[in-house]
Amino acid sequence: MYQAEETRYERMEYRRCGNSGIRLPRLALGLWHNFGEVNPQDNCRRMVRQAFDLGINHFDLANNYGPPPGAAETMFGRIFRADLTPYRDELIISSKAGYLMWPGPYGEWGSRKSLLASLEQSLRRLGLDYVDIFYSHRYDPETPLEETMGALAQAVRQGKALYAGLSNYPPAAFRRAVMLLRELNTPCLIHQCRYSMLAREPERELLGDGERLGVGFIAFCPLAQGLLTSRYLNGIPADSRAARPIPFLQPDNVAATIDRVRRLNALAERRGQTLAQMALAWTMRRPGLTSVLIGASRPEQIVENVGCLTGPNFTAAELAAIEAILPSE
């Protein structure tokens, strides 16, 4: 039987999420890739255990993660029942609804019907009574924001989610949604958006807005799906994401960034870090940023990435050198 590492809270850092009562680990593990039906359960289980043993107690899902959609929640549910049931009160498990999940007019976007039906389905797949964070996965410009936020608040009032979250909301919609949730007495806990050295849009408004409004920020794809690691320094490995026939990361994306990536890698080596560790540390140093939400295909990557917590602080010269390598906005 799995026994979690006794030292699991010693190396991880936890940061208060916005103005809320909870602190979240600086690294969370996302199950978007590598937790589908095609992925060996054994490896998935080893990754979840490895993460938790290192103090990563936050696991992020969505209704549509797979493939096929739903499979990642089913996989996590199985691992949870086998290994994590005794630790439920130590865990933050999040899920989301908003992207296409089932046929017909209610299988996506932000209606009350869609969100609440999807949450029921997620809980069944996960085998849980509640999730810790339930997100609106994307802003729906055709549904009144009052309805979408009302559905999140209802999920919290019903006890099926402990906190409400937003993901991928543009700045103006984000600010309004935060106000609406506040009026509904279910304050927005966190905003989940893409943010990395190669995707810096949140620096314009979202990071500052979140900080001002007391909402946490969790950065997804902080390694740009693997581009900001040693993965592609010498070509495209056959078992990597860019080699898979999926639209999310293509060989073209590797070709377009590899020169910059190699220069960043040289800088990371001079700091005594791997590129992944430097990229995560660079992202995490932003005020207002609660956590980075990493993915992984093997436990060793998780171990390496948690090592970002013990690296040296950036000097002004290093930050300037990084800035000179990164694409201009």
Ligand X SMILES: NC(=O)c1ccc[n+]([C@@H]2O[C@H](COP(=O)([O-])OP(=O)(O)OC[C@H]3O[C@@H](n4cnc5c(N)ncnc54)[C@H](OP(=O)(O)O)[C@@H]3O)[C@@H](O)[C@H]2O)c1
Range list of β-strands (E), the chain? 14-16, 23-25, 27-30, 58-60, 92-97, 131-136, 161-167, 188-194, 216-220, 291-294
Decide whether 76 or 186 has the Cβ nearer to ligand X. Answer: 76
Interatomic CA distance for residues 305 and 28, integer angstroms:
11
- For ligand X, the binding residues in 75-94 under the rule CB under 6 A are none
CB of 168 to ligand X, least distance (A): 5
57 binds ligand X (CB under 6 A): no
Question: Is the bond preceding residue 68 a cis peptide, omega within 30 degrees?
Answer: yes
Mask of contacts with ligand X, 18-37, x by CB under 6 A?
Answer: ------------xxxxx---
How many residues bind to ligand X according to rule CB under 6 A? Answer: 31
Nearest to 96 by CA among 37, 38, 55, 155: 155
Nearest to 72 by CA among 87, 82, 62: 62
- For ligand X, the binding residues in 105-134 under the rule CB under 6 A are none
70 binds ligand X (CB under 6 A): no
Q: Which stretch binds ligand X (CB under 6 A): 149-157, 176-184, 203-211, 291-299?
A: 291-299
Q: Which of 63, 118, 225, 273 binds ligand X (CB under 6 A)?
A: 225
Residues 6+ apart with CB under 8 A from 14: 23, 24, 25, 26
Q: Which of 60, 132, 140, 209 binds ligand X (CB under 6 A)?
A: 60
Decide whether 6 or 239 has the Cβ nearer to ligand X. Answer: 239
Q: Which of 189, 294, 309, 322 binds ligand X (CB under 6 A)?
A: 294
At residue 131, what are phi and psi to the nearest 5 degrees? -105, 160
Q: Which tokens go with 117?
A: 């039906």
What length is written for the chain? Answer: 329
Strand partners, 216: 190
Q: Tokens 């990536």 belong to which residue?
A: 261
Q: Which stretch binds ligand X (CB under 6 A): 16-24, 110-118, 139-147, 290-298?
A: 290-298
Q: Which stretch binds ligand X (CB under 6 A): 2-10, 106-114, 171-179, 218-226?
A: 218-226
Interatomic CA distance for residues 4 and 136, integer angstroms:
32
Q: Tokens 């992925």 belong to which residue?
A: 39
Q: Which of 156, 295, 299, 322 binds ligand X (CB under 6 A)?
A: 295
CB of 249 to ligand X, least distance (A): 8
Q: Which tokens go with 28?
A: 């969370």
Q: Which stretch binds ligand X (CB under 6 A): 11-19, 110-118, 152-160, 217-225?
A: 217-225
160 binds ligand X (CB under 6 A): no
Decide whether 154 or 305 has the Cβ nearer to ligand X. Answer: 305
Q: Which of 240, 250, 263, 311 binds ligand X (CB under 6 A)?
A: 240
Q: Which stretch binds ligand X (CB under 6 A): 7-15, 44-52, 104-112, 223-231?
A: 223-231
Q: Which of 57, 95, 114, 301 binds ligand X (CB under 6 A)?
A: 301
* 131 and 123 Cβ atoms separated by less than 8 Å: yes
Residues that bind ligand X (CB under 6 A): 30-34, 60, 137, 167-168, 192, 220-226, 229-231, 240-241, 276, 293-297, 301, 304-305
